[in-house]
Amino acid sequence: MKNTLKTASLLSLALLLGACGTSNTPTTTTAQHDGSLLKTAQVVTDRWFVELEGDPTSLSSQSVGSQQATFRAQAAKQGIKYQEISAYQTLFNGFAVQASSSEMGRISQMPGVLGIYPIHRVDAPETTVDLNATVTPEMFYAKGMTGADIAQNELGLTGKGVKVGVIDSGIDVDHPAFKGRIVAGYDFVGDDYGKESKYVPVPDENPDDCGGHGTHVAGIIGGYDPGNSRDGRPFAGVAPEVSFGAYRIFGCGGSSYDDVILAAMERSVKDGMQVVNMSLGSAFDNWKETPLAKAADRMVKKGVVMVASAGNSGASGTYSMGGPTMGDQVISVASVDNAKIDLEGFTLSNGTKVGYYTATGAPAPTLGTNLPITKKPGSTTTTTNDGCTASGGFAAGSLTGKAVLIRRGTCSFYEKAKNAQDAGASAVILYNNAAGYISPTVAGTPAITIPVVSISDTDGAKIDGLIAAGVSMTFDGSKVSVNNPTANASSSFSSIGMSAELEFKPDLGAPGGNIYSTYPLSADPAGYEVLSGTSMASPHVAGAAALLLQAYPNTAAKDMRTMLMNTASLRWYLNGSTLVTGLPDYAQRQGAGMINIVNAYTNSVRATPAKLSLGESATFATRSKVVVLKNTGARREVYTAYNYPALTIGGTTLAPTPVQKYATMTINGQSADTASGVQIIVPPFSEVELNVVVTPPAGAADKAQYGGYVDLESTTSPNIVVPYGGFVGDYQSIQVLGNLIVGGKSQDFPALGDDVADTYYTEGQTVANPIDYTFKQVALDSTKPNELTLDAPYVIAQISHQARKLTMELLDGNGAVVDTLLKQEYLGRNCTNDVSKTSSTCDAYNTYSWDGKLSNGSAAANGTYQLRVKVLKALGDESVASDTETYTSQQFTVARPQ
């Protein structure tokens, strides 16, 4: 049955998918470039992590302290100028410092320094908010998707006795859903942190939430409010009896920084949290070696189950995850859309309830309003231009005091509503001309002043059939539960893996699209709101972990992910508005699939490893892995094992496309691609090895990502899945130093920046006049004489893919190396390659500046120089020339006034 369903799905998809491609041809020019075009997008930081050698979880505090004291003494001896912001000893051996990039270049080469990393600004996670509350999905539905409802009601699991830390914007301490259950916490920042771009922390002991995000997350994990009930059921999160630790790292609005987040992570460990949820991260920073990812891994080593959101950068392509979620042992959570939604409703005179969306640009209906329903004479459920001006509109006064039913089509929603309003209508009911619901906009001039609501095609047809005999409707505030059209599909915003090192990520999926949960009373007197994002998915898994820890308190933190991944259920690919049942979505977007708490609780066979990272196909034509099945139960377990491939990701990094090319597999020497599969028997209290050999998909394009599942099906026990993912071709063939689209045209980058001349010189550009830098502070705007900029060179680099290491060198006029100015490890990629698409959360390039000093602190002599940037590619080998990309700037002159 499995393979039959899969084949049918693939055939249907073949009829639906198309192919597309784009090409940008860079140009080389001698013309001067307008430097102002890049000013707003420039990415500069003066805050850095400095990591020293030695894992603090393996060293004594005395050893860590000694290393840090030695660093301070050496930096002082060398005259390096920096300001220490924080020191860390629990999860990270090193400091957060403030310094210029040139000073950081000197620090990067000090003995004992393992690496330097920019401290990222972390914006409060993006979520979609339904401020009008016209759509109110229930935690009841989301809990049904994960099995949390059965775990609570039938298994008696509530998370009691388990401590869950929430590193976020705090928790509303006055909200009834958390009364008496916040047992630890700290406010690291204060209310005004980030206000007007001022980041001055004012810490205190009260982690009260005024931003909202943390309260919403905590409600999903384990809120419980008998004062908010529906159908006799009180609001309850996944684990409604957990105790909370609240660690506030955001102010009432704005952003936070990695160094604050790291401090909160260390405190949560000291406070004894057993599970910690982090619904935040830095997109594209997807290395397990970055400070927050490494610290998160060390939390697991210390016995904490770490759960983190995968990120909301799915629209920015592949390799778009980042932050703590990239830790090797961290549970990385993708988002799945909720199963059902509750709509506001009106009731027909025959008692039928109809759900609706309120149109944007029109007032909400007044509760209690009762109106007869009419329509334009002659209109039917096939009329294509119902209510449009071209079809005659409505007769003057014909709709006075009535609600008019209008079918979608031909003209705008505004035109239909305006014509009805002019004819005296008291309300408009728009119905769809295709399956499902619409969310219309009727904004225009003059404004629409009557309620406009939209309903489904089927409800519209029902009402159309009742009008002849007479029917009325009442806006009575009723709720109507309907199936979500995108239910159980991966959310389109959910970030896509893999990691920069081709490690399989994300790990799991959970409900994150349209989730109803707690909200600060200060922001919403009702205390509840609907939000969407991977931020909402992660706490479902944190709550699930709390339930399983209550059931199995001796479970090692590192084993929790395996329990949940083994028993997850796959999500199908959403092609536009069509859910292709039986065809798994990209494994690199959904991980192992949706968590199933009940199956995780009852499963007695564990498969390790829980996922297979297969690397690049250029290295090995096939990949061989061993999966061990360990049966801890007294019953003999029998499985049929299949290869269940998911869609391959083709296209480009920024524009991925689904491709129907699939890997093949053998298990224990037998084909796993047949309908009969491979029979596997696991005796009681024993282990069985599966020798899994995966062959990458034939015909898949170079640089594609493929994936799928080792699918073990049982008729008596929960099914087990082990996801796999790999890369087609030579991974080092991905270009790192890319071209940049400026003013709509692709230009050769990297480039040499010159602020005083208000220009930049693209790679290979011929320069007619000498380039010189004085290293003097200069006012670029004569109207702002106090705003000074250093007249110094800098490299502008578009980072198209994650890089293992970047080195900037100073060359003399003959091309010989004078000095190494900067070494930076584990770089993330830029969000886009188009300057016009940048935003506060999406950058197009990085800059690397030189202040005229050498690594020993002395000033470089006047003369002719060049800057050279070398980038070692992800998983690259420095001894292989093709694994390093090199850019060399034009020659310039250091011309300090004598």
Identify the CATH number of the domain in which residue 798 sits.
2.60.40.4070
Q: What are the structure tokens assigned to 151, written together?
A: 């775990």
Whether pLDDT at 7 is above 60: no
- Do 720 and 742 reside in the same domain of the chain? no
Respond yes or no: is residue 168 known to be catalytic.
Answer: yes
- Do 354 and 400 reside in the same domain of the chain? yes
Assess if residue 444 is contained within a domain: yes
- Do 335 and 350 reside in the same domain of the chain? no
Parent domain of 425 = 341-483
Q: Which CATH number belongs to the domain containing residue 395 in this structure? A: 3.50.30.30
pLDDT recorded at residue 5: 36
Contact 587, 724 (CB under 8 A): yes
pLDDT recorded at residue 130: 38
DSSP secondary structure, 793-845, as one string: -EEEEEE-S-EEEEEEEEEETTS-EEEEEEEEEEEPPPS-SBGGG-BTTB-S-
Respond yes or no: is residue 746 known to be catalytic.
Answer: no
In sequence order, the 6+-apart residues with CB closer than 8 A to the CB of 620 are none
695-711, pLDDT tens digit by residue?
999 999 999 999 999 99
- Do 457 and 378 reside in the same domain of the chain? yes
Contact 632, 744 (CB under 8 A): no
- Do 309 and 269 reside in the same domain of the chain? yes
- From 681, 714, 734, give the residue that closes a domain: 734
- Do 346 and 436 reside in the same domain of the chain? yes
C-alpha 330/C-alpha 297 separation (Å) is: 6
- Do 170 and 188 reside in the same domain of the chain? yes
**How many domains are there within the chain?**
5
Average pLDDT score, the chain: 90
Residue type, 715: T
Assess if residue 25 is contained within a domain: no
Q: Which CATH number belongs to the domain containing residue 663 in this structure? A: 2.60.40.1710
Residue type, 272: G
Confidence of residue 139 (pLDDT cuts 50, 70, 90): low
Whether pLDDT at 129 is above 80: no
Respond yes or no: is residue 535 known to be catalytic.
Answer: yes
User: Tokens 């390093």 correspond to what residue?
Assistant: 884
Assess if residue 240 is contained within a domain: yes
- Do 165 and 306 reside in the same domain of the chain? yes
C-alpha 279/C-alpha 533 separation (Å) is: 9
Assess if residue 786 is contained within a domain: yes
In sequence order, the 6+-apart residues with CB closer than 8 A to the CB of 72 are 84
C-alpha 877/C-alpha 884 separation (Å) is: 8
Residue type, 219: G
Whether pLDDT at 639 is above 60: yes
Per annotation, catalytic residue among 168, 673, 791, 819: 168
User: Tokens 């159980």 correspond to what residue?
Assistant: 488
160-200, pLDDT tens digit by residue?
999 999 999 999 999 999 999 999 999 999 999 988 888 99
DSSP secondary structure, 589-645, as one string: HHTT-B--HHHHHH--EEEESSSEEEEETTT-SSEEEEEEEEE-SSS-EEEEEEEEE
- Do 727 and 755 reside in the same domain of the chain? no
- From 483, 499, 515, give the residue that closes a domain: 483
What are the residues facing 648 on neighbouring strands?
659
- Do 675 and 708 reside in the same domain of the chain? yes
C-alpha 573/C-alpha 488 separation (Å) is: 10
Q: Which CATH number belongs to the domain containing residue 63 in this structure? A: 3.30.70.80
Assess if residue 26 is contained within a domain: no
Per annotation, catalytic residue among 535, 717, 855, 889: 535
Assess if residue 205 is contained within a domain: yes
Query: Residue 498: is the preceding peptide bond cis (ω within 30°)?
Result: yes
- From 91, 119, 147, give the residue that closes a domain: 119
Q: What is the pTM of this model?
A: 0.85
Cα-Cα-Cα-Cα dihedral sign, residues 91, 95, 96, 100: negative
537-547, pLDDT tens digit by residue?
999 999 999 99
- Do 254 and 357 reside in the same domain of the chain? no
In sequence order, the 6+-apart residues with CB closer than 8 A to the CB of 800 are 653, 734, 735, 736, 737, 738, 829, 830, 833
C-alpha 280/C-alpha 308 separation (Å) is: 7
Per annotation, catalytic residue among 213, 216, 540, 801: 213
pLDDT recorded at residue 44: 54
Assess if residue 849 is contained within a domain: yes
Assess if residue 631 is contained within a domain: yes
Contact 752, 786 (CB under 8 A): no
Of 512, 595, 566, nearest to 310 by C-alpha is 512
- Do 471 and 530 reside in the same domain of the chain? no
Q: Which CATH number belongs to the domain containing residue 163 in this structure? A: 3.40.50.200
